[in-house]
Amino acid sequence: MTTSTAAPNLATSANKPLESDPIVDKLHSLARTESRAYDLVRSLVDEAGSRLAGSPGDKAAVAWGVRTMKELGMQNVRAEKVMVPHWERGAESGRIVSPVSHTLALNALGGSVSTTGKGIEAEVVMVDSMQALEKLDEASVKGKIVFFSARMQRSRTGDEYGRVAPMRAYGASAAAKKGAIATVIRSVGTDHDRFPHTGGMRYEKGVPEIPAAALAVPDAELLERLVLAGKPVRIALSLSSKTFPDAESANVVGEVIGREKPDEVVLLGAHLDSWDTGVGAVDDGVGCAAIIEAARLVMSLPVRPRRTVRVVLFANEENGLRGAKTYATDHTVEMEKHHLAMEVDYGSGRVHTIRFLGAENSAATFSRIAGFVAPLGIAYEQAPASGGADTIPLRPFGVPLVDLSQDATKYFDVHHTANDTLAQVAKEDLDQVVAAVATVAWAAADAPDFFARVPEEQRGRK
Amino acid sequence: MTTSTAAPNLATSANKPLESDPIVDKLHSLARTESRAYDLVRSLVDEAGSRLAGSPGDKAAVAWGVRTMKELGMQNVRAEKVMVPHWERGAESGRIVSPVSHTLALNALGGSVSTTGKGIEAEVVMVDSMQALEKLDEASVKGKIVFFSARMQRSRTGDEYGRVAPMRAYGASAAAKKGAIATVIRSVGTDHDRFPHTGGMRYEKGVPEIPAAALAVPDAELLERLVLAGKPVRIALSLSSKTFPDAESANVVGEVIGREKPDEVVLLGAHLDSWDTGVGAVDDGVGCAAIIEAARLVMSLPVRPRRTVRVVLFANEENGLRGAKTYATDHTVEMEKHHLAMEVDYGSGRVHTIRFLGAENSAATFSRIAGFVAPLGIAYEQAPASGGADTIPLRPFGVPLVDLSQDATKYFDVHHTANDTLAQVAKEDLDQVVAAVATVAWAAADAPDFFARVPEEQRGRK
């Protein structure tokens, strides 16, 4: 495929559907008028609630996935066992001790160790980046709590997440190396509401494991004002989070068997787990709903596509990617039959751009598929698809990928918060996502030729 | 004054300033360019934090008020002692037990008793009004938890608060009379975020006191869906709130002494206390800031107004009105010298309408003052002013009132929640409020004639 780095002419490609097709038109119409995606999200979040890997909600979600796909008439529905990490939050609290007294709205980061005894209290040292932390000498960090104050800008692409989230993921070990006893971060989010944004973090081997928490943005801004005012600022943290032995969960799989080449697979992925604070309607209930509903719409057509459309509800995306890894391991021999893979994990915002990652000789088919989604307001960007977290383990196998990039303007307002509930889902936008997924799934699964593998040099992650 | 019930021609009155005045123009310009109101809110909420009556934050706020008004050069600055109720929330939690398991985001209502022992668990009976509860027979309520599901509509006036808030205030006793063991309400709020809205409630004498809590709107909607699905729904509540003996607080008073009639008073009121969950930037930090800043702008003019402008930061508006009651008691002999009173307690939304309550022969002056605020986009509505909570005790004395009605479209999104922080304050809108308050304060204080008392028949509250 073309990997030109020149800016693509998005307006032109978005506005000129390459061709029309009665089945595509039918899928667009069905998604607009008969989509059950919103009801599927509601059903999942009402029945399973929050569903962090290893929790009772996680188990309930697996049962929901199996039952739902069976009820919809999908084939080969099964739960494929995955062993997942099992971390529990427990009670948690924080406060500013001096120079003034304030309660802090915070969440332990996923995987954080607890504070010991009655908690810890120490002076804060504020940095706005990993680089700023690196420049501090150990004497100014030792025994203190490092506060990462970096803020995330709002955008349609959500690209800033890539810049800021590493402080959440790796900041604790970086701070511990300098002698810090804990870290707090300004939540990686674009809202100004009093919801902390939790998220995954990892400890580096051989480095002391120190507690790590996220502050709600208004609380982080208060802390920043106090630090900038110049007096020493002391805060207290009490976290009682705990890691248990790995637990059993599952990837839930269901299929619409292809009419000609049933062993060739178009994979639609989303993740079934969520963080524990909210019910994960947006992250990633909507993704699960969109791919199930897309498969249902394909199944409702008078004719099946040539190849199989496989829905995979991955386990444990949030804090381990064990579902994706296990899928790749369990299906290694079948990887060469994976025609195309896509992931829906960016909320319910409308799809604005489509990109592919594949071999040069698939370009004509990719372009044809892009034309099919153009009437949905989706631009064809001729730059390589990035894939998502759950498609990472497919990359070494050269499985072609497609990105349906969604509008993330509001996504990071509720991402990883207690506020991720059904009330945040926009039905009409979600149904446009369903239309896009169904169209790409059908068109790829029905394409005449099997997609050649991604060239070796493009299999790494951007 | 005119109390016509015909719809006033707001557009006409808003668009035609009756006259211009160099001092008024100066006040408008100062508020636009030099207002310190936002900094005052920040200073209050950063220094005192949440400040429920009787709490350490309440004490800190009194100290802040005295120091701030002294620093600004106001006169007769003092704290006037007020004994206030002292209620503390303590730990609290709730969950749906069956038919599915969910955590409930809830807050005890202010004044609620605790649940005893390990909390209570019971089946829910749902009603959407006090009338619907009345219609239920005791057998269907006895031993259950009554869930008030009424929703509040968003509007510029916020009028729906008057319809829905009584369920919060009086629902517990009404339910207890039928044998309920607790009540939960859908939060009285217009958001769909996961913040419960607390608020005041009262127990009726001689009726068993049962625990009462507010559910965040998404949680209430989930509970509603489950109840409507038809299976019995059981929830569990654990509240550890407690009422302590009355504590000492204060109304904080400061003045700009009038040049001719210093004993005649234009009262600008707001309340210094807040609920305990947030820091009360919007409710009512902005009100305190607006009236202090308005007084400062008046003070900055080359000439003082004829009469005294008195700023009163009332104690304990939220759960007792003890500040307002004590003020009226302590200043009874001075009430006949209260020329006009206004209250700012509706957030930082822009003022859209002005109304007065007074004697017929003040109409010309009221109309002139309304003309002065017309350039701020404020319509003159010739219907009687309603006053606010802290001006209720002034009404029997016939003190004339003025309403500066603010846009409440977003006010009830954060009202009484943990999300009431500085991040919710819009500086530019707040500065328009300052301009309006300063203009009315100056023009009223400088009016040639003392305003006659409100006629007896109009002294009751609407």
Establish whether the linkage from the previous residue to A99 is cis, with ω within 30° of 0: yes
Same domain, A73 and A181: no
Residues 6 or more apart whose CB falls under 8 angstroms from that of B446 comprise B305, B306, B307
Same domain, A326 and A420: yes
- Tens of pLDDT along B207-231? 999 999 999 999 999 999 999 999 9
Q: Is A101 on the interface with B (CB under 8 A)?
A: yes
Residue A337 and residue B169: Cα distance in Å, rounded? 65
Residue B395 and residue B454: Cα distance in Å, rounded? 8
H or E, element range at A248: strand A242-256
pLDDT value at position B111?
97
Residue A441 and residue B284: Cα distance in Å, rounded? 54
pLDDT profile of chain A (462 residues), mean per 10: 36 50 96 98 98 98 98 98 98 97 98 94 98 97 98 95 96 98 98 98 98 98 98 98 98 98 98 98 98 98 97 97 98 98 97 98 96 97 96 97 98 98 97 98 97 96 66
Question: Does residue B296 have a pLDDT over 80?
Answer: yes
Beta strands in B136-189 (DSSP E): 145-148, 182-186
Catalytic entry in B224, B255, B293, B317: B317
Question: Does residue B18 have a pLDDT over 90?
Answer: no
Q: Residues 277 to 296 of B: which have CB under 8 A from any A CB?
A: 278-279
Q: Residue B123 maps to which CATH number?
A: 3.50.30.30
Report how many helices (DSSP H) and strands (DSSP E) chain B contains, helices first: 12, 16
Residue B119 and residue B239: Cα distance in Å, rounded? 7
> Out of A18-27, B75-84, B277-286, B437-446, which region has the weakest mean confidence (pLDDT)?
A18-27
- Which chain A residue lies closest to B277 (C-alpha atoms)? A103
Q: What is the DSSP string of B347-392?
A: TBPPEEEEEEE--GGGHHHHHHHHHHHGGGT-EEEEEE----GGGG
Same domain, B71 and B193: no
Q: Is A193 on the interface with B (CB under 8 A)?
A: yes
pLDDT value at position B6?
36
Task: For chain B, give the percent of residues with pLDDT over 70.
Answer: 96
Spatial CA neighbour of B233 closest among B343, B101, B141: B101
Point out which residues pair with B79 in neighbouring strands: B252
Residue A191 and residue A152: Cα distance in Å, rounded? 9
Q: Residue A323 maps to which CATH number?
A: 3.40.630.10
Same domain, A131 and A178: yes
Across the interface, of B57, B100, B421, the residue whose CB is closest to A194 is B421
pLDDT value at position A462?
60
Section B48-63 average pLDDT: 98
Same domain, B65 and B97: no
Across the interface, of B46, B192, B221, the residue whose CB is closest to A225 is B46
- Work out whether the CA dihedral B10, B16, B19, B21 comes out positive or negative: positive
- Residues comprising chain B, all counted: 462
Residue A5 within a domain: no
Residue B301 within a domain: yes
Question: Does residue B16 have a pLDDT over 90?
Answer: no
Across the interface, of A42, A47, A217, the residue whose CB is closest to B100 is A47
Does the distance separating the beta carbons of A221 and B422 come in below 8 Å? yes
Task: For chain B, give the percent of residues with pLDDT over 90.
Answer: 94
Pairing of strands B182-186, B92-98: unpaired
pLDDT value at position B461?
73
pLDDT value at position A1?
32
Residue A319 and residue A91: Cα distance in Å, rounded? 19
Given A182, A214, A240, the domain boundary residue is: A240
Residue A239 and residue A442: Cα distance in Å, rounded? 48
Residue A275 and residue B182: Cα distance in Å, rounded? 31
Q: What Å distances lie between residue B59 and A167, B64, B272, B274, CA to CA?
A: 38, 9, 10, 12
Q: Tell me which chain B residues have a C-beta less than 8 angstroms from the C-beta of A279.
A: 102
Same domain, A77 and A175: no
How many domains is chain B built from? 2
Task: Give this prediction's pTM.
Answer: 0.93
Q: What Å distances lie between residue B453 and B1, B329, B343, CA to CA?
A: 11, 18, 18
Residue B5 within a domain: no
Domain enclosing residue B273, as ranges: 10-82+248-458
Point out which residues pair with A311 in neighbouring strands: A254, A268
Size of interface A-B (CB pairs under 8 A): 76
Angle separating helix axes B22-34 and B286-299, nearest 10 degrees: 130
Residue A321 within a domain: yes
Question: Does residue B79 have a pLDDT over 50?
Answer: yes
Tokens of A165: 């989230």
Q: Is B16 on the interface with A (CB under 8 A)?
A: no
Q: What is the mean pLDDT of chain B?
A: 95
pLDDT value at position B117?
82
* Nearest chain A Cα distance for residue B350, angstroms: 21
Pick the residue of A38, A46, A187, A282 with the most B CBs within 10 A to test the interface with B by mutation: A46
Spatial CA neighbour of A201 closest among A131, A315, A274, A110: A110
Please report where in the chains the tokens 């939050």 appear, as a residue: A89
Across the interface, of B218, B278, B419, the residue whose CB is closest to A422 is B218
Same domain, B105 and B65: no
Residue A201 within a domain: yes
Given A187, A218, A240, the domain boundary residue is: A240
Residue B397 and residue B329: Cα distance in Å, rounded? 11
- Left if phi > 0, otherwise alpha if psi is -120 to 50, otherwise beta: which for B206? left
Is A317 an annotated catalytic residue? yes
Q: Tell me which chain A residues have a C-beta less than 8 angstroms from the C-beta of B105.
A: 418
- Which chain A residue lies closest to B414 (C-alpha atoms)? A193
Same domain, B384 and B350: yes
Same domain, B326 and B406: yes
- Which chain A residue lies closest to B222 (C-alpha atoms)? A46
Across the interface, of A105, A193, A226, the residue whose CB is closest to B193 is A193
Residue B26 and residue B22: Cα distance in Å, rounded? 6
Residues 6 or more apart whose CB falls under 8 angstroms from that of B136 comprise B125, B127, B178
Section B250-273 average pLDDT: 98
Across the interface, of A46, A218, A418, the residue whose CB is closest to B105 is A418
> Out of A9-13, A262-266, B163-167, B335-339, which region has the weakest mean confidence (pLDDT)?
A9-13
Residue A122 has phi, psi (to 5 degrees) of -160, 170
Section B43-61 average pLDDT: 98
Q: Tell me which chain A residues have a C-beta less than 8 angstroms from the C-beta of B279.
A: 102
pLDDT value at position A20?
76
Spatial CA neighbour of B197 closest among B243, B171, B173, B165: B165
Point out which residues pair with A237 in neighbouring strands: A94, A120
Point out which residues pair with B75 in neighbouring strands: B255
Q: Tell me which chain A residues have a C-beta less than 8 angstroms from the C-beta of B42.
A: 225
Does the distance separating the beta carbons of B46 and A222 come in below 8 Å? yes
Residue B265 and residue B256: Cα distance in Å, rounded? 10
Does the distance separating the beta carbons of A195 and B423 come in below 8 Å? no
Does the distance separating the beta carbons of A279 and B193 come in below 8 Å? no
Q: What Å distances lie between residue A407 and A165, A348, A364, B12, B245, CA to CA?
A: 19, 8, 26, 43, 54
Q: Residues 421 to 440 of B: which have CB under 8 A from any A CB?
A: 421-424
Residues 6 or more apart whose CB falls under 8 angstroms from that of A7 comprise none
Give residue B285's Cα distance to chain centre: 11
Geometric angle at alpha carbon A309, from A307 and A315, rounded to 5° = 145
Sheet bearing B182-186, strands edge to edge: B102-104, B92-98, B234-239, B120-127, B145-148, B182-186, B212-215, B106-108
Residue B85 has phi, psi (to 5 degrees) of -65, 155
Q: Is B396 on the interface with A (CB under 8 A)?
A: no
- Which chain A residue lies closest to B91 (C-alpha atoms)? A91
Same domain, B30 and B49: yes
Catalytic entry in A92, A224, A255, A317: A317
Q: What Å distances lie between residue A14 and A362, A432, A450, B61, CA to CA?
A: 20, 15, 26, 58
Point out which residues pair with B186 in neighbouring strands: B215
Residue A3 within a domain: no
Residue A4 within a domain: no
Does the distance separating the beta carbons of A222 and B422 come in below 8 Å? yes
Pick the residue of B222, B224, B420, B422 with the most A CBs within 10 A to test the interface with A by mutation: B222
Give residue B318's Cα distance to chain centre: 7
Residue A17 within a domain: yes
- Tell me how far apart the terminal alpha carbons of chain A are, to the nearest angstrom: 16
Q: Tell me which chain B residues have a C-beta less than 8 angstroms from the C-beta of A193.
A: 193, 195, 419, 423
Given B194, B214, B244, the domain boundary residue is: B244
Same domain, A330 and A265: yes
Give the single-character DSSP code of A200.
Answer: B
Does the distance separating the beta carbons of A100 and B47 come in below 8 Å? yes
Question: Does residue B25 have a pLDDT over 80?
Answer: yes
